[in-house]
C-alpha cells in the first residue's frame, strides 16, 4: 500500500467527518428555541415592576399614617 493511498483514505475520512459535523450542527441549531426576551431585559422588567410596587406601597402607607 502506497503512502499516497493512505493519505487519500485519510482525506476522504476527514471530508466525510466534516460533512457529518456540519449537518449535525445545522440540525442542532434548528432545535434551539429563540427566547422572546433576553435575560437582561427580563431582569430590568422585574426590577421595574418591583420598584413600582414599592412606590405604590410606600404611598399607600404614607396615606395610612396621615389618616391616623
Residue ranges per domain, the chain?
39-68
Please give the C-alpha separations between residue 22 and each of 9, 10, 15, 31, in angstroms, as whole numbers: 20, 18, 11, 15
Q: What is the pLDDT along the chain (68 residues), one digit of tens a residue?
A: 799 999 999 999 999 999 999 988 877 777 777 777 788 888 898 899 999 999 988 888 887 766 65
Find cell 414599592 and name the residue.
54
**In the numeric block, which cell numbers belong to residue 14?**
476527514
Amino acid at each position: 500500500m502506497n503512502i499516497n493511498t493512505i493519505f487519500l483514505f485519510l482525506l476522504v475520512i476527514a471530508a466525510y467527518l466534516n460533512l457529518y459535523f456540519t449537518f449535525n450542527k445545522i440540525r442542532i441549531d434548528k432545535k434551539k428555541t429563540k427566547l422572546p426576551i433576553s435575560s437582561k431585559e427580563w431582569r430590568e422588567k422585574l426590577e421595574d415592576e418591583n420598584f413600582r410596587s414599592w412606590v405604590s406601597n410606600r404611598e399607600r402607607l404614607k396615606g395610612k399614617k396621615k389618616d391616623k
